[in-house]
Amino acid sequence: MKKITIVITGGTAGIGLATARYFSDRGHRVFISGRDKRRLDSALATLSDTCGGAVGDVNDTESLQRLYEMAGPIDVLFANAGVSYAAKPLHELSIEEIERIVNTNFMGVIRTIHTAIPSMNNASSLIINSSTIGKYSFSGQSVYGATKAGVEGLTRGLAGELAPLGIRVNAIRTGFIDTEIIENSGVPTAEANAIRAGAVSAIPRREIGKPDEIAEIVEFLGLGACFVNGEVITADGGQTACFVPPPYDA
């Protein structure tokens, strides 16, 4: 199999790190970014010597440019970085919190892509990490859901805009994946465990997804699937396909 260069934002934990390891283990050049140097160094220690990374934030164009210059010509870009928050209604969020979420999850993706385009190879692949909440928004996650709906719209629009440059654009609509994103959003451990238990009960196969399972989809979209463009692939264990809404109480 051809060896490629893949860049992953938010590559120091969760889906991003699992994807970095997945590609590194298969001999590809992997370049990751993260905001915390200690976590970045720890992540890089698990990758091969041909991999690299840079401390940076998707809201900082200069740090993205440094990452892309380090990587050289890019075959696959996985716009993975994102933030969540403990569920609460819009009116209980401060404007500062809302701006942080929107700036990272939506504008951060736009900045990641806009800055990368000059470094993307012909016949390259751009993959955005979305969420089922972007289509089936939940109470208490309206802002998060809006950002994910936004990147799915971006995916479809960019598919046509970037096709003349030889860049395919797709997104992965992930369901509940076993990462630390819940704890990182400030949810207490007991509540996080309850959320996981609730997620398991809603998934037909009665288990939450593994980060490596998302990495496999990144591989599919990045190394093959050349006729797939502008699509959003759902990976949620069948949760939304089998969702039964609660009865309407008039």
Which residues are designated catalytic?
Answer: 144
Residue 153 has φ and ψ, to the nearest 5°, of: -65, -40
Continuous H helices in the chain: 14-25, 37-44, 61-71, 95-102, 108-116, 142-162, 181-184, 189-202, 211-223
Is 153 exposed, middle or buried (CB count within 10 Å of its CB: 0-12, 13-18, 19+)? middle
To which residue do tokens 């990045």 refer?
A: 222
